[in-house]
Chains A and B, each alone.
Chain A
Amino acid sequence: MRLAVAVALLLCAAGPVRADEPGARCLLRVVHALPQEGGVDEKLAPLKDRLTRAPFREWKTFKLLSTEERDLQPSAAAEYPLPGGQKASLLFAEHATSPEGKHLVRGSFKLEGGKSTSRTMFSLDEGGVLLVAGQKHAGGILIYALSCKTEK
């Protein structure tokens, strides 16, 4: 009973989204990493520094499989198609702003449909990148790189 009340309160608290709340544009890159020598896809230049250091040192080839961008309003979710019939979903929970004007995006990133399922709740600086890696795929691994920009 207490749980039902608590959930109901949580849902009520969610309420309607105010029109002045900024949305976010979130970009998901899916990268296939392989152990054979091959280098970093030039389309992955913005991520090259991150991909060529630990914990990715044992992977020598990085191919960009897909790039998907979605516009999201607070409390809204979007789905991103993934290789092998998997699915990624992103919930943009809210936006925060620092006195210095630095923007933060809070949300959750869920991967499902494959051998493993994960949900990561995060707070990400605008311009930052969240990397989720390690799912096995076609002789290598998949690396998901998520970054968001707010609309303010």
Chain B
Amino acid sequence: MEPGDPRRLHRLHDGDLAADERARVEAGLSDEDRARLAAIEQVGAALRNTLEAEAAGFDIAAAVMARLPASPATAGVTPISAARSWRSRARGVLGSRSVWLSTAVAAAAAVLLFALPWGGGVAEAATDECEIESLEVTGASATVLRLPATRGEGTSTVVWLDEEEGP
């Protein structure tokens, strides 16, 4: 396993590797890689369960109505309490808004969210905070990486697009 190669881990997890390559990759898995695989499986299962539950009783009109109180125009500047509430709803892999949009594009997109300690250090800690409320993707699978900064000063957020093979 080449270091920093999450795509191969995803392909291994998804069963997309040929038998010989799978054997080779599995033989080269580090403890960190195994931990990543376990996290991918856990989050994937949680996301699948939630999407199935949402799809069973999905009501798009109700979903749109539910968005009205948070509409940008209802309050030009959102109090931080509201913003944090919004953030907490969006935080993590099971935020209702994420699921709503993900459900809407489920046929065309593969969306996987997870947070993992990728290890390694940075010379200077990143201090930005960015929350992903929702993600719609076609023609690629997407992974949201929340990378913990060193020195406990915040995180970095990366939306990683893994484009499908072919023309």
Contacts and interface: CB of A to CB of B under 8 A. Distances in A.
Q: Are A and B bound to each other?
A: yes
Interface of A: 2-3, 5-7, 9-10, 13-18, 20-22, 49-50, 52-58, 74-75, 93-99, 102, 104, 106, 114-125, 127-136, 147
Nearest to A75: B72
B131 interface: yes
Contact of A134 (B60, B121, B123, B162): B162
B37 interface: no
Given A54-B119, A117-B138, 5 more contacts: A106-B83, A116-B138, A123-B86, A125-B128, A129-B156
Contacts of B83: 96, 98, 104, 106, 123
22 contacts: A5-B61, A6-B61, A6-B64, A13-B73, A49-B125, A49-B126, A53-B122, A55-B4, A55-B6, A95-B77, A96-B77, A96-B82, A106-B72, A118-B135, A121-B133, A127-B127, A128-B129, A133-B158, A134-B160, A134-B162, A135-B163, A136-B163
B128 A14 contact: no
A57 to B, nearest CB: 4
A30 B102 CA distance: 26
Interface of B is mostly: mixed
B68 A13 contact: yes
B137 A96 contact: no
Interface of B: 2-6, 60-61, 64-65, 67-68, 71-74, 76-80, 82-83, 86-87, 90, 97, 101, 118-140, 142, 145, 147, 156-164
B135 A121 contact: yes
Contacts of B77: 21-22, 94-97
A54 B147 contact: yes
B42 to A, nearest CB: 19
